[in-house]
Amino acid sequence: MGWAILVIGILIILVLASCVKVVPQAHAYVVERLGAYQGTWSVGLHIKMPLLDKVAKKVNLKEQVVDFAPQPVITKDNVTMRIDTVVFFQITDPKLFAYGVENPIMAIENLTATTLRNIIGEMELDQTLTSREVINTKMRASLDIATDPWGIKVNRVELKNIIPPAAIQDAMEKQMKAERERREAILRAEGEKKSTVLVAEGKKESAILEAEAEKRSAILRAEAEKEKMIREAEGEAEAILKVQQATADGIRMIREAGADQAVLTLKSLEAFEKAADGKATKIIIPSEIQGVAGLAASLKEIVAKDTAR
């Protein structure tokens, strides 16, 4: 009898313990009573009715990521390609998530495939390859509206990879290669053009510098020649001045020594001869000196005749 009471007590404790539930953070429990929806438990400690209540579904409220396999789609210009998508979603209503659709993940996958086919079917191949952001935005809006009755909010949709046919890939690679070669040729031509311009500018600048140097050299030579002529003229003038000064000093000394007018006149003639220095072609002699010069010439002839006798 005592053992039976002990067993019954243990069973009661176990049943009561099973009725105590703790809901962790970012989770929610959907509870049913006798098969009908009773309520949604949020984070914290909860107690259910024994044998009447049960946790129908445990819901994760964190943002979840689902990577779907590539789906075949056909573009507007009849090109078949494969596109795989990544969907970021979050459960906002645990009750709708539990009772809205049988398999939410499969439903989202099928909905993503059909929505993607509808969007790509209105676009051509080139537009599909260059409009990822547009496709992502359209798909997110469509999926968010469609999954709202399921208690699911679609935050983002990303095209993970776009796989065109092999022939299209080869054509695209050839086109890219041709484009790279064209850009390379343009860059090479621009480089050669720039190099030619730089060389021409360098030659022009060199010619300008040479002309300026030649001009400066000619100016310096002219200035040197001018300076030389000035110095030569100054030297000749100074030499003549010294000769005349010496002659004047000699005449003054003769006069001081008491020489007569004839001697002074002869000395004057000698001074004119030295001044001419054999370079002058014409010398103007004052009239008072000409008479003395004639007298001197007569005396010279008389002396010469006497010597001959």
* Residue 288: burial class (beta carbons within 10 Å; 0-12, 13-18, 19+): exposed
Q: Which of 13, 41, 57 is the last residue of a domain?
A: 57
Distance CA 61, CA 78 (A): 41
Residues 40 and 69 in one domain: no
The reported pLDDT for the residue numbered 3 is: 75
Residues 293 and 274 in one domain: yes
Residues 91 and 144 in one domain: yes
Structural domains counted in the chain? 3
How sure is the predictor about 276, in pLDDT bands with cuts at 50, 70 and 90? Answer: low
Residues 20 and 83 in one domain: no
The CATH number of the domain holding residue 81 is: 3.30.479.30
Whether the pLDDT of residue 269 is over 70: the answer is no
The reported pLDDT for the residue numbered 297 is: 47
- pLDDT over 70 percentage in the chain: 79
The reported pLDDT for the residue numbered 306 is: 47
Judge whether 230 lies within some domain.
no
Whether the pLDDT of residue 159 is over 80: the answer is yes
| Residue 83: count of CB within 10 angstroms of its CB | 22
Judge whether 117 lies within some domain.
yes
pLDDT one-digit tens code per residue, 216-256: 888 888 888 888 888 888 877 787 777 777 777 766 776 66
pLDDT one-digit tens code per residue, 179-194: 888 888 888 888 888 8
User: Torsion angle, CA of 303/304/306/309, rounded to 10 degrees?
Assistant: 170
Distance CA 210, CA 52 (A): 110
Residues 120 and 32 in one domain: no
pTM of the model: 0.53
Whether the pLDDT of residue 93 is over 50: the answer is yes
Helix (H) or strand (E) holding 23: strand 20-23
Average pLDDT in the 148-171 region? Answer: 85
Judge whether 147 lies within some domain.
yes
Distance CA 61, CA 20 (A): 21
Structural domain range at position 39: 2-57
Judge whether 293 lies within some domain.
yes
Residues 37 and 70 in one domain: no
Q: Which of 143, 164, 185 is the last residue of a domain?
A: 164
